[in-house]
């Protein structure tokens, strides 16, 4: 028997040995072409798959990011948040401010080789504005939306010129048209089938879609006939020159997985990484962190219809109890500074008035809650864990409020539940982040408005609502500045919204990728980006 | 046997119906509004209202359920709220990815764990037994995500041998398919191997104590013949039960492994759909998982007589 046992033992060990040797031999052999064909393809992580190729119909931020490389509008935002030309060479606004005449750049072509004409612009806009096509931003232009823009007529003047007529002048028309969320893309008619059903966008962008592996990846190919604007890359406007033959967006939902994929060279760029990974990335030579302050804004909402928080003294007490700079620094690993205003620091409408917020003064806060006869009732602060900055801000804010004697309880919800509560006003306090809106009117519009129409607004003073509407109609920057300062002062005194900080986003990039940068609207762009030349001369 | 299969399948219908009601009600009880999530950061109340109407979310719950049941009876699982794709197509895309990883991992796990368990039982209370048990305990005590991260760090980041994310279909590139599957399969094997090893060991130890094994040895059979021909056949039934449960559980989606390796499998499809309140996808996935459990359990029951002649299908 011992001999049999030994025989089996030897066989098992031998089999295990063969397996291990095979594995050791196999793995490096398999790895042979891991980095094959990396040179001409840029690989980028995408936190979720695109929802569709129908811009503005079924979209989210990732969808927009991809489609902005494929489809272009007449105008686009520059990095300084002004509106610049894209397909339009120039435009003129009539004296009464109601008509906008755009002249197209000569020689523009769609991905199918057809020349772009003014009638394509008219057709594209009419397609978008047709209720049957369910474009989600139709209300921005049909007079039913908050900013009241209404397009009365679109007409072609010649092959290169198209005119939009509005029912009344509105400063926000170009701002809306350039808005990155609702791409007003000019597409060829063949983007639809004979029955008018959507196939795929035939746009004018520097890349076109060649393959969509749902839930895995989406591949774009360089459009050889693309004619970039002269000058430098500038936000979504400016020079859009494609250096990579292909861009492959890989769906990687988890940030840690994206980080490892970047470190292993499986991807070249991992946009919007959590701030926590910065120290680890900064230690490496093969990865470069790219930091960019953005317009995304974290705030604390106070429900002023709540029996306790309807008392303005309670809201002011909370405003005085929060050290905003400390919240900004600690929640973002020192990457952001406090901003209590909807106006982005450094924007053309930033002013000394916009920087005025209730000073951090715990003793004043304690005095105010005594005056309000606060009896220690619990106050629930709603937050989610999907967006880390909302959560980390909430933890710090809750602790600061406990320091002045408020009984604050964190209520951690999933994002879907919190969003519903935000939309219905079903909360006492809420820590939430707002995505970037390029114009201050649009940013203030998030929380100021008629509560009878929108239950998610927190400030409904009719006089302030009128001022906000006016800020979207007037064109004079001086008048707009005055209006924004007055709106901020009123909102600040009300303290139903306590602005905390603007996000600084972190994009992680392989060191051999050159000329990648971010911008205040925080949408990644991959035109103008290239790979460092190797010794063999290949990109 | 056909009668047995038919009876089991008939019995599965009420179970699936109960599962359908439970899934439907649970999803509607959880707060959240699919229309709101779909519209996202656009302020468009009219679009939200229109979408709710289109999705039938304003109808009474019972009516919504009947509509869904009627669709199901026609073989239509509905369409995703988020992407508009038919749920059946989403399942057909996602399930093969999960199935590839799970079936290969289960096969490899069985190939390693069953001989390992037998060896440990045969060499009970020796250094070999201790080594196998220690390995099993170690693998059981390491969480799946940590195991996956370690493999990614070692083989993907440090050695650069294997890709850390994504999936390539076999038809596109057999080589790429293999490279992309190695790490997820390894992670799954390492997290599952302990249960099967321990089960094989304990059931083999019980069988090795029986008289007929002594009798077989007394006949002069080799140890290999005693172990594999006589001991294993009787010790295998409980192992098969565990294998069946494991397979059913894993085929329903290996969320952690799919997330860590960015594999668009069934688990991730379900979790993403839950977060998006994509009711048709969640309902379709859950029902599909219930069907998987039913089928796998049935297969396991059909396999019992092959290993243990005392079992009869009645």
Q: How far from the centroid of its chain's Cα atoms is residue A487's Cα?
A: 24
Confidence band of A35 (pLDDT split at 50, 70, 90): very low
Instruction: Tell me what the mean pLDDT of segment A320-347 comes to.
Output: 94
CB pairs under 8 A between A and B: 168
pLDDT at residue A221 tops 70? yes
Q: Are B253 and B268 in contact (CB under 8 A)?
A: yes
Q: Which residue from B minimizes the CA distance to A44?
A: B165
Q: Comparing A219-223, A402-406, B162-166, which segment has the lowest mean pLDDT?
A: B162-166
Name the residue with higher pLDDT: A292 or B249.
A292
| Closest B-chain CA to A417 | B32
Question: What is the pTM for the complete model shown?
Answer: 0.88
Distance from the Cα of residue A51 to its chain's centroid: 15
Looking at the complex, does the CB of residue A286 fall below 8 Å from at least one CB of chain B? no
Structural tokens at position A474: 């007037």
- pLDDT value of position B25: 92
Q: Do A215 and B94 touch (CB under 8 A)?
A: yes
- Give the A window 403-432 contacts with B, CB below 8 Å: 413-417, 419-421, 423
Name the residue among B41, B83, B262 with its Cβ closest to that of A52.
B83
- CB contact under 8 Å between B166 and A216, yes or no, is yes
Q: Residues of B numbered 180-199 whose beta carbons fall under 8 angstroms of chain A's beta carbons: which are they?
A: 182
The half-sphere exposure of A17 on its side-chain side, counting CA atoms within 13 A, is 6
B152:A257 CB<8 A: yes
In B220-275, where do the E strands start and end?
Answer: none
- pLDDT-derived band at A148, boundaries 50, 70, 90: confident
Show Cβ contacts of residue B126 under 8 Å, excluding neighbours closer than 6 positions.
none
Asked if pLDDT for residue A519 goes beyond 60, the answer is yes
Contact A5 B272 (CB under 8 A): no
Q: How confident is the model at residue A19 (pLDDT cuts 50, 70, 90)?
A: low
CB-CB neighbors (< 8 A) of A181 in chain B: 41-42
Asked if pLDDT for residue A37 goes beyond 50, the answer is: no
Spatial contact of A156 and A118, defined as CB atoms under 8 Å apart: yes
- The average pLDDT across A157-166 equals 97
Check A51 against B156: CB less than 8 A apart. no
In this complex, is the C-beta atom of B175 within 8 Å of any C-beta atom belonging to chain A? yes
And the tokens for B196? 């099967």
Average pLDDT over residues A12-31: 55
Residue A3 has pLDDT above 90, yes or no: no
Per-residue pLDDT band for A34 (boundaries 50, 70, 90) equals: very low
Match 């919504």 to its residue by tokens.
Answer: B64
- For chain B positions 51-80, those within 8 Å of chain A (CB to CB) are none
Chain A CB within 8 Å of residue B83 CB:
yes
Contact A368, A317 (CB under 8 A): yes
Tell me the C-alpha distance between A294 and A315, whole Å. Answer: 27
pLDDT digits (tens, 9 = 90+) for A175-218: 999 999 889 999 999 999 999 999 999 999 999 999 999 999 99
| pLDDT value, residue A32 | 47
Kindly report the nearest CA distance between residue A67 and chain B, in angstroms: 16
pLDDT tens digits for chain B (314 residues)? 788 888 888 888 888 889 889 999 999 999 999 999 998 888 788 889 999 999 999 899 999 999 998 998 898 999 999 999 999 999 999 999 999 999 999 999 999 999 999 999 999 999 999 999 999 999 989 998 999 999 999 999 999 999 999 889 899 899 999 999 999 999 999 999 999 999 999 999 999 999 999 999 999 899 888 988 888 888 888 898 899 888 888 988 789 999 999 999 999 999 999 999 999 999 999 999 999 988 888 888 888 887 777 777 66
In the predicted model, is pLDDT for residue A108 greater than 70? yes
- Name the one residue in this structure whose structure tokens are 């919190």: A418
Residues 6+ apart with CB under 8 A from B6: none
Q: A34 at the B interface (CB within 8 A)?
A: yes
B59 min Cα distance to partner chain A (Å): 19
Q: Cβ distance A199 to A191 under 8 Å?
A: yes
**Per-residue pLDDT at A30:** 52
- What pLDDT shows up at residue B249? 85
pLDDT at A2 over 60: no
Q: What is the mean pLDDT of chain A?
A: 91
Q: Judge whether A41 is closer than 8 Å to chain B, CB to CB.
A: no
A263: which chain B residues are within 8 Å (Cβ-Cβ)? 157
CA distance B90 to B269: 8
Q: Among partner residues B36, B165, B224, which is closest to A250 by beta-carbon distance?
A: B165
Judged by CB atoms closer than 8 Å, whether chains meet at A34 and B160 is answered as yes
**How would residue A1 be classed by pLDDT, with cut points 50, 70 and 90?**
very low
Chain A residue at shortest CA distance from B92: A214
Estimate to the nearest angstrom the gap between the alpha carbon of A447 and the chain centroid.
18
Predicted complex ipTM: 0.86
Q: At what angle do helices B279-307 and B61-73 cross, to 10 degrees?
A: 50
Q: Are strands A207-213 and A287-302 parallel, antiparallel or unpaired?
A: unpaired
CB burial of A74-107 (b: ≥16 within 10 Å; e: otherwise) equals bbbbbbebbbbbbbbeebeeeeebbbbbbbbbee
* Interface with chain B: mutation pick from A62, A261, A443, highest number of B CBs within 10 Å: A261
In sequence order, which residues have a C-beta less than 8 Å from that of residue A85 and are 6 or more positions away? A74, A75, A76, A91, A105, A229, A237
pLDDT tier at A24 (50, 70, 90 boundaries)?
A: low
* C-alpha to C-alpha distance for B296 and B291, rounded to whole angstroms: 9
| pLDDT tier, A38 (very low <50, low <70, confident <90, very high otherwise) | low
Nearest by CB: A139 against B41, B44, B175: B44
Q: What pLDDT was estimated at residue B7?
A: 85
Which pLDDT value is given to residue A487? 97
10 Å Cβ neighbour count for A512? 17
Categorize the per-residue pLDDT at A84 as very low, low, confident or very high, splitting at 50, 70 and 90: very high
The whole-number pLDDT of residue A9 equals 52
For A403, the token pair is 């320091």
Residue from B165, B183, B220, B259 whose CB has the most chain A CBs within 10 Å, to mutate? B165
* B224/A4 Cβ within 8 A: yes
Cα distance from B183 to chain A (closest Cα, Å)? 11
Instruction: Say what the pLDDT of residue B238 is.
Output: 87
- B266, closest residue in chain A (CA to CA): A215
Quick check: A353 and A311 in contact, CB under 8 A?
no
Averaged over A385-411, what is the pLDDT? 96
Locate A338 and state its tokens.
């406090």
What was the pLDDT predicted at A23?
A: 56
């Amino acid at each position: 028997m011992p001999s049999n046992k030994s025989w089996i033992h030897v066989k098992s060990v031998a089999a295990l040995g063969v397996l291990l040797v095979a594995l050791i031999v196999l793995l490096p052999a398999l790895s042979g072409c891991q980095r094959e064909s990396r040179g001409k393809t840029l690989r980028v992580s995408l936190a979720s798959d695109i929802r569709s190729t129908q811009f503005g119909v079924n979209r989210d931020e990732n969808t927009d990011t991809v489609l902005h490389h494929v489809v272009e509008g007449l105008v686009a935002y520059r990095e300084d948040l002004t509106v610049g030309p894209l397909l339009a060479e120039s435009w003129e606004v009539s004296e009464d401010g109601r008509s906008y005449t755009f002249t197209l750049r000569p020689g523009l072509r769609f991905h199918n080789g057809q020349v772009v004409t003014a009638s394509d612009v008219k057709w594209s806009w009419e397609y978008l504005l047709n209720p049957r096509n369910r474009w989600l931003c139709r209300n921005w232009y049909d007079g039913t939306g908050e900013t009241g823009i209404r397009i009365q007529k679109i007409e072609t003047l010649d092959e290169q010129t198209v005119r939009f007529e509005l029912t009344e002048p509105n400063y926000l028309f170009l701002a809306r048209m350039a808005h990155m969320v609702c791409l007003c893309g000019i597409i060829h008619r063949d983007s639809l089938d004979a029955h008018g059903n959507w196939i795929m966008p035939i746009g004018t962008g520097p890349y076109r879609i060649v393959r969509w592996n749902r839930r895995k990846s989406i591949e774009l190919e360089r459009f050889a006939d693309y004619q970039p604007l002269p000058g430098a890359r500038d936000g979504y406007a400016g020079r859009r020159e494609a250096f990579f033959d292909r861009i492959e967006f890989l769906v990687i939902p988890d940030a840690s997985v994206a980080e490892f994929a970047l470190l292993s060279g499986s991807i070249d760029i991992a946009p919007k990484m959590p701030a926590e990974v910065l120290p680890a990335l900064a230690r490496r030579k093969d990865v470069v962190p790219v930091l960019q302050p953005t317009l995304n804004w974290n705030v604390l909402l106070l429900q002023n219809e709540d029996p306790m928080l309807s008392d303005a003294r309670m809201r002011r007490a909370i405003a005085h109890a929060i050290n905003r700079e400390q919240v900004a620094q600690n929640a973002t690993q020192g990457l952001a500074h406090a901003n209590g205003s909807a106006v982005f620091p450094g924007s053309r409408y930033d002013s000394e008035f916009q920087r005025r917020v209730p000073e951090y003064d715990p003793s004043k806060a304690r005095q105010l809650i005594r005056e309000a006869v606060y009896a220690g009732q619990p106050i629930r602060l709603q937050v989610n864990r999907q967006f880390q900055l909302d959560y980390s801000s909430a933890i710090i804010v809750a602790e600061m409020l406990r320091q002045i004697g408020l009984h604050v309880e964190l209520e951690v919800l999933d994002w879907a539940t919190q969003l519903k509560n935000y939309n219905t006003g079903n909360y006492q306090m809420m820590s939430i982040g707002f995505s970037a809106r390029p114009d201050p009117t649009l940013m203030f519009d998030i929380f100021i408005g008629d509560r009878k129409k929108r239950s998610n607004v927190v400030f409904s003073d009719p006089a302030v609502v009128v001022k906000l509407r006016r800020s979207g109609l007037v064109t004079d920057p001086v008048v707009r500045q005055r209006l924004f300062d007055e709106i901020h002062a009123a909102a600040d005194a009300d303290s139903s919204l306590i602005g905390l900080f603007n996000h600084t986003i972190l994009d992680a990039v392989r060191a051999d990728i050159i000329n990648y940068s971010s911008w205040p609207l925080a949408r990644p762009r991959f035109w103008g980006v290239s790979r460092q030349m190797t010794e063999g001369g290949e990109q | 046997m056909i009668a047995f299969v038919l009876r089991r399948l008939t019995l599965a219908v009420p179970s699936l119906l109960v599962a359908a009601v439970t899934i439907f009600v649970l999803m509607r009880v959880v707060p959240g509004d699919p229309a709101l999530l779909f519209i996202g950061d656009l302020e468009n109340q009219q679009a939200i209202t229109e979408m709710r109407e289109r999705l039938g979310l304003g109808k009474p719950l019972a009516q919504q359920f009947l509509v869904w049941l009627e669709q199901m009876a026609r073989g239509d699982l509905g369409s995703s709220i988020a992407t508009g794709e038919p749920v059946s197509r989403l399942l057909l895309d996602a399930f093969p990815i999960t199935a590839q990883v799970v079936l290969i991992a289960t096969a490899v796990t069985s190939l390693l764990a069953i001989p390992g368990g037998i060896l440990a039982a045969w060499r009970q209370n020796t250094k070999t037994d201790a080594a196998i048990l220690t390995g099993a305990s170690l693998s059981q005590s390491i969480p799946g995500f940590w195991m996956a991260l370690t493999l990614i760090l070692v083989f993907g980041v440090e050695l650069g041998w294997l890709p850390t994310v994504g999936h390539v279909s076999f038809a596109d590139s057999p080589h790429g398919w293999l490279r992309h599957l190695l790490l997820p399969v390894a992670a799954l094997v390492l997290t599952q191997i302990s249960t099967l090893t321990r089960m094989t060991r304990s059931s083999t130890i019980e069988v090795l104590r029986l008289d007929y094994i002594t009798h077989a040895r007394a006949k002069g059979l080799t140890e290999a013949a005693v172990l594999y021909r006589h001991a294993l056949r009787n010790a295998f039934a409980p192992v098969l039960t565990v294998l069946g449960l494991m397979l059913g559980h894993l085929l329903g989606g290996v969320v952690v492994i799919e997330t860590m390796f960015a594999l668009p499998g069934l688990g991730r499809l379900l979790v993403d759909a839950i977060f998006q309140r994509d009711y048709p996808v969640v309902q379709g996935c859950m029902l599909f998982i219930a069907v998987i459990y039913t089928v796998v359990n049935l297969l396991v029951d059909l396999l019992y007589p092959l290993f243990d002649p005392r079992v009869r299908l009645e």
